[in-house]
Amino acid sequence: MRDRDPLLALRPWEAPEVTSWGRLPMNAVDRRRETVPLDGDWRFQLLPSPDAPLAAAWSSTYVPGAWTVQGTDDLPQYTNVQMPFAEFPPHSPAANPTGVYEREVDVPADWAGRRIVLQVGAAESVLLVHVDGRPVGVSKDSHLAAEFDLSAVVRGGERATVRLTVVKWSDASHIEDQDQWWHGGITRSVLLYATDPLHLADVSVRASFEGGLRVDCLVRDAGGALPADWWVSGDLDGQLLVQNVEFDRANAEDDRVSDFLGEARIDAVVPEVRTWNAETPELYGLTVRLHHADGTVADTSYHRIGFRDVEIDGRDLLVNGERVYIRGVNRHDFHPLTGRTVSYDDMRADLVLLKRFGFNAIRTSHYPNDPSLYDLADELGFYVVDEADIESHDHAHEIADDPRYLNAFVDRVARMALRDKNHPSIIIWSLGNESDYGANHDAAAGWLRRHDPTRPLQYEGAAKLGWAATDDASDIACPMYAPLEDCVAHALSGRQTRPLIQCEYSHAMGNSNGTLSDHWAAIESTPGLQGGFIWEFWDHGILQSVSDGRPTGRAGAGLYDNGVAAPGHRWAYGGDFGETIHDGAFIADGVVFPDRTPKPVLFEHREIAAPLRIECCRHEGIVLGNHQHFRGLDWLNGTWELALADGRTLTAPAVLPELVPGETVAVPLPFEVPRDGGEAWLTLRVTTAEELPWAPVGTEVCAPQVRLRGPVVPEGVPVDRPVEVDGEGLLLHPLLTAAPTLSLWRAPTDNDELGGMALRWRTWGLDSLVRKAVSVRQTGQSVTVLAEYAGTGGVVRHRQELTPVEGGIRIDEEVELPDEFDDVARVGSVFETVAGLDLLEWFGQGPWESYPDRSAGAPVGHHAVPVDELFTPYLRPQESGGRHGVRRFTLSATDATGLAVALDEPRQVSVTRFRADDLTTTTHHDELAPRAGCVVHIDAAHRGLGTASCGPDTFPSYRIAPGLHRWSWTLRVL
Ligand code: GAL
Ligand code: MG
């Protein structure tokens, strides 16, 4: 029986020309009635290949779901560029996991005579449909739904057996080679629905920001020929809309009239329309009805629409005439338990979090996302770049011009646009990702430009012709990871022809996103630069049980907290499921942990995106500026906060002025700044003033800050008391278990590793410097220790002078970094403390983690954080937990005893439970054993983080030059 099956005989998994068979055209009709959900348990078996005979025994599995995380032996595999199998396109391997899903469906009795459609939300990568053993259809395009008309094979009131066969590898895998986990299964919902034979085949809405509304309907009849005298009507928030009779299907002179494809139009103008934009996403409810000649309703489609325009004017992308900044992120449909299946609540939580951290744009990297994502983007306010499911990364060049794949390129782009065209949030179409540039792209672009002239399209690969080109398949120059100086140079060159918005930048792998604020300083000051999309939202760690190495699947619900997997579990990355072909931790490169816990970079981003900013203006007080595009400040509340170095923090309510977008105003200083108190910083804490769909009242929005008075260098008065050192010149101190020594090494971040810096540091021997005291000299009560730190690449001389001062010891340090060490990780002191000092309090930047090139979002103030919460649990252990601009800190026990450190100037400090070595020698966070005491680093200089794991390194100004480095600090006992 199986060998005679025509669908199997077609072998669609190795026929790129076959994109579908028996599948209905994609459309944007949204019906709410007459549906039968088919999610739930299905009979299931996983065959070793599509040709293999069915086994007698079935198990059961839940739909929607990926079988790779549902208990089968076919586990997730992660590759970036390389294909997971050796076969060249269009071929796939003989070993080809094939899931067969089967269940009975009771077709409602009142569906007799109705048109009955099966919808499969998403299946990867080839779907074959049978009903009662009869072949119904085939579909590819793993992230879009497939619909099949079952009217001829099922009957109302009867039971039918639906079989969905899903073949994992195919010709299509070669154009779904995105940088993510490979899965197999039915990852979105399945359902049946019924309509009248006379039905809406599609609805297209155009709603402009001046209030013009046009609704185009396509009408078909299951019987073929259309009946006479059908008509359409609409309803916009309760207001009746009538069909445009000028555009009359019955007009015999109109050569658009067809016997089987009806076209009707509704035109309207909405006076005083509330326009849609990402700041104020005003939506209207539109209902479109198709009527029989007697007026009864045959079909209904529901839409939430927004009135807005998108256009490109020269090198500016305009939304409603405004040049908006694109503060974007790339987002995958990802979930740490299900792999790919995401619920409405999950997506809502993603978007709510992005709103709270100042994002206003999403690129649906690298395929059309779950349909609800776009509803949520419309509702919460995001500009969306909707991307087609095309990435042929490994064999990009060959496929881009291969005519066998032509149909697939056009099909995927067209189906995306047909499904998503009515979403106001989508302002740009994308032809896909990393697939070189060829005739197949131009064909897809041609289809799209003709079908939807209202939106620009972009394709990074087309930019190969140069950002200034005008004749390629991209209306936007959308490079990835372009050096900032190149972007600025292009914008200043006079040759810019189109907007420059990076489709990917600031790679968030591990402890990263250095120089984000430098990017935005340039973007906001350089006409022609308009923003970009951070790579990426998620760390795609899959929750794995360590004992059996399997993904937990949905059973892992609740087995993680605050970014960390529960004991016995970990966040798996490439290679953790026994794959031999994989790309390791490169899959963990998001701004949130796999459970959506924010990483510190999000606080940086929130501040960079601040809608309200302040500047210090000597004569006039403080200048406030509205940095939004469309709205005033009435949705915000403010509180002034004055932090003084002496420990005081004064607060006062702020009265926010009425400012239109772009406007500034000077206000008097809210405080009489006390003459004493030392260094002084004024912060405006800005929170939401009203209940918003994405934030309750009082949610922090930003905390812009200005310095009112500079620091005063603390002086320790020398006293007559000895300092104790051992024979090696190491300080003996009751609270220290390891004396302060020189540190030039940090546990390499992913950027350090992949950017090649860590290799150089290791070659120089910085990870294992050998210390030798050269001289220990007593001068009065001070001790001066000269030491040499020898590495394979050179010797570093370090001088430490320990002077007893009032209440403690002052430590003056100096190193001469030889020219050979021209770019080290840090220059500073490291020491370790006794156990029990579990609270860090400091005056400096915080409270979250910050580094020299990622510190714009950490205001100066008085902060207190338990030591165990200072460390950020990046999936692959690495340098973490640093705090920038620390002026002084205390480490104390519950009884308030402990130590206090005062620094000569704001320094990078870190207090963790881990030595750099502990972090370097482990591969997953769960392998780390926290030490009882604290490992404390005080750095005279700390290398910026950069983004070198994929993209530019940190700027030279954030690197450490050879030569003399001096720092000084005072250690006291509390
Ligand atoms: C880009 C690519 C992304 C991802 C990223 C690195 O080249 O488009 O899919 O691979 O680099 O994480
Ligand atoms: Mg790629």
Candidates 682, 42, 544, 628; CA nearest to 324 is 628
In a domain, 511, yes or no: yes
For residue 586, the ligand 1 atom closest to its alpha carbon is 12
Q: 446: CA distance to ligand 2 center in Å?
A: 24
Q: Of all residues in the chain, what percent carry a pLDDT higher than 70?
A: 98
Report the residue count for the chain: 974
Which CA distances in Å does 620 have to 250, 611, 666, 683, 686?
A: 70, 22, 6, 17, 21
Looking at 282, 305, 328, the residue that finishes a domain is 305
Structure confidence by residue, pLDDT tens digits, 727-780: 999 999 999 999 999 999 999 999 999 999 999 999 999 999 999 999 999 988
* φ and ψ at residue 614, rounded to 5 degrees: -130, 155
For residue 536, the ligand 1 atom closest to its alpha carbon is 12
In a domain, 812, yes or no: no
- Strands 426-430 vs 383-387: parallel, antiparallel or unpaired: parallel
Peptide bond into 90 cis (omega under 30): yes
In a domain, 811, yes or no: no
Q: Which one of 147, 387, 434, 460 is the catalytic residue?
A: 434
Looking at 195, 224, 240, the residue that finishes a domain is 195
In terms of phi and psi (left: phi > 0; alpha: psi -120 to 50; beta: otherwise), the region of 898 is: left
In a domain, 291, yes or no: yes
Candidates 337, 749, 750; CA nearest to 572 is 337
Which ligand is the nearest neighbour of the Cα of 583?
1
The pLDDT score that the predictor gives to residue 464 is: 72
Structure-token pair, residue 758: 């860590």
Q: Supply the CATH number for residue 272's domain.
A: 2.60.40.10
Do 75 and 153 share a domain, yes or no? Answer: yes
Do 430 and 463 share a domain, yes or no? Answer: yes
Count Cβ atoms within 10 A of the Cβ of residue 237 and give its class: 0-12 exposed, 13-18 middle, 19 or more buried: exposed
Compute the distance between CA of residue 577 and CA of residue 268 in angstroms, rounded to an integer.
Answer: 57
Structure confidence by residue, pLDDT tens digits, 190-237: 999 999 999 999 999 999 999 999 999 999 999 889 998 899 999 999
For residue 950, the ligand 1 atom closest to its alpha carbon is 6
Q: 949: CA distance to ligand 1 center in Å?
A: 11
Do 114 and 32 share a domain, yes or no? Answer: yes
| Substitution candidate for ligand 1 out of 391, 504, 505, 513 with most atoms within 8 A of CB | 504
Compute the distance between CA of residue 39 and CA of residue 156 in angstroms, rounded to an integer.
Answer: 20
* φ and ψ at residue 655, rounded to 5 degrees: -100, 110
**Per-residue pLDDT averaged across 56-83, rounded?**
98
How would you list the strands of the sheet with 621-626, edge to edge? 612-617, 621-626, 664-667
Q: 179: CA distance to ligand 1 center in Å?
A: 6
- Least trusted range by pLDDT, from 32-36, 245-249, 594-598, 930-934: 245-249
Which ligand is the nearest neighbour of the Cα of 82?
2
Q: Is 4 a residue whose pLDDT tops 90?
A: no
**Which amino acid residue places its CA nearest to atom 9 of ligand 1?**
179
How many domains does the chain contain in total? 6
| Substitution candidate for ligand 1 out of 535, 539, 589, 947 with most atoms within 8 A of CB | 535
Q: 79: CA distance to ligand 2 center in Å?
A: 9
Do 175 and 297 share a domain, yes or no? Answer: no
What's the domain range around 96?
2-195
Which CA distances in Å does 84 have to 302, 433, 572?
A: 42, 18, 18
The residues near 377 (Cβ < 8 Å, ≥ 6 apart) are 351, 362, 384, 423, 425, 426
Q: 298: CA distance to ligand 2 center in Å?
A: 46
Structure-token pair, residue 47: 């065959």
Candidates 285, 307, 288, 295; CA nearest to 201 is 288
Do 283 and 323 share a domain, yes or no? Answer: no
504 a catalytic residue:
yes
**Which amino acid residue places its CA nearest to atom 2 of ligand 1?**
179
Candidates 707, 708, 680, 701; CA nearest to 638 is 701
For residue 80, the ligand 1 atom closest to its alpha carbon is 10
Which ligand is the nearest neighbour of the Cα of 180?
1
Compute the distance between CA of residue 71 and CA of residue 87 in angstroms, rounded to an integer.
Answer: 27
Which ligand is the nearest neighbour of the Cα of 435?
2
**Per-residue pLDDT averaged across 887-907, rounded?**
97
* φ and ψ at residue 12, rounded to 5 degrees: -65, -15
Structure-token pair, residue 780: 């009065």
**Per-residue pLDDT averaged across 9-18, rounded?**
95
The pLDDT score that the predictor gives to residue 249 is: 54
| Substitution candidate for ligand 1 out of 179, 583, 949 with most atoms within 8 A of CB | 179
Do 186 and 213 share a domain, yes or no? Answer: no
**Which amino acid residue places its CA nearest to atom 10 of ligand 1?**
179
Count Cβ atoms within 10 A of the Cβ of residue 6 and give its class: 0-12 exposed, 13-18 middle, 19 or more buried: exposed
Q: 435: CA distance to ligand 2 center in Å?
A: 8
**Which amino acid residue places its CA nearest to atom 4 of ligand 1?**
179
Looking at 305, 339, 373, the residue that finishes a domain is 305
Q: Which one of 14, 387, 504, 679 is the catalytic residue?
A: 504
- Least trusted range by pLDDT, from 209-223, 404-418, 678-692, 704-718: 704-718
**Which amino acid residue places its CA nearest to atom 3 of ligand 1?**
179
126-130-133-136 Cα dihedral, nearest 10 degrees? -110
**Which amino acid residue places its CA nearest to atom 11 of ligand 1?**
950
Compute the distance between CA of residue 966 and CA of residue 814 in angstroms, rounded to an integer.
Answer: 4
Compute the distance between CA of residue 265 and CA of residue 608 in angstroms, rounded to an integer.
Answer: 45
Residues β-bridged to residue 240: 235
- Least trusted range by pLDDT, from 250-264, 651-665, 738-752, 905-919: 250-264
**Which amino acid residue places its CA nearest to atom 6 of ligand 1?**
950
Q: 625: CA distance to ligand 2 center in Å?
A: 40
Which CA distances in Å does 211 have to 273, 322, 455, 631, 762?
A: 5, 17, 17, 19, 64
Residues β-bridged to residue 101: 44, 164
Which ligand is the nearest neighbour of the Cα of 366?
1
Do 284 and 162 share a domain, yes or no? Answer: no
The residues near 824 (Cβ < 8 Å, ≥ 6 apart) are 744, 745, 761, 764, 766, 817, 943, 960
The pLDDT score that the predictor gives to residue 616 is: 87
Q: 445: CA distance to ligand 1 center in Å?
A: 22
Q: Are 542 and 339 in contact (CB under 8 A)?
A: yes
Do 56 and 172 share a domain, yes or no? Answer: yes
| Substitution candidate for ligand 1 out of 78, 80, 513 with most atoms within 8 A of CB | 80
Do 265 and 329 share a domain, yes or no? Answer: no
Q: Supply the CATH number for residue 65's domain.
A: 2.60.120.260
Residues β-bridged to residue 330: 363
Reported in sequence order, the residue ranges of 292-396 that DSSP labels E, i.e. its strands, are 297-305, 310-313, 316-319, 322-323, 326-330, 361-363, 383-387
Q: Is 252 a residue whose pLDDT tops 60?
A: no
Do 615 and 596 share a domain, yes or no? Answer: no
In a domain, 311, yes or no: no
The pLDDT score that the predictor gives to residue 1 is: 46
Q: How many CA atoms lie within 13 A of 753 on its CB side?
A: 16
Do 472 and 383 share a domain, yes or no? Answer: yes
Reported in sequence order, the residue ranges of 208-256 that DSSP labels E, i.e. its strands, are 212-221, 231-236, 239-242
Compute the distance between CA of residue 496 and CA of residue 748 in angstroms, rounded to an integer.
Answer: 38
The pLDDT score that the predictor gives to residue 250 is: 52
Structure-token pair, residue 538: 């998620």
* Structure letter (DSSP) for residue 930: -
Do 21 and 146 share a domain, yes or no? Answer: yes
The per-residue pLDDT of the chain, averaged, comes to 96
Q: Are 361 and 326 in contact (CB under 8 A)?
A: yes
In a domain, 476, yes or no: yes
- Least trusted range by pLDDT, from 225-229, 659-663, 798-802: 225-229
- Least trusted range by pLDDT, from 3-12, 229-238, 314-323, 352-361: 3-12
For residue 366, the ligand 1 atom closest to its alpha carbon is 9
* Structure letter (DSSP) for residue 834: -
Around ligand 1, the residues with Cβ closer than 6 Å are 80, 178-179, 366, 433-434, 480, 504, 507, 535, 586, 589, 950
In a domain, 373, yes or no: yes
Q: Is 814 a residue whose pLDDT tops 70?
A: yes
Q: 415: CA distance to ligand 2 center in Å?
A: 22
In a domain, 685, yes or no: yes
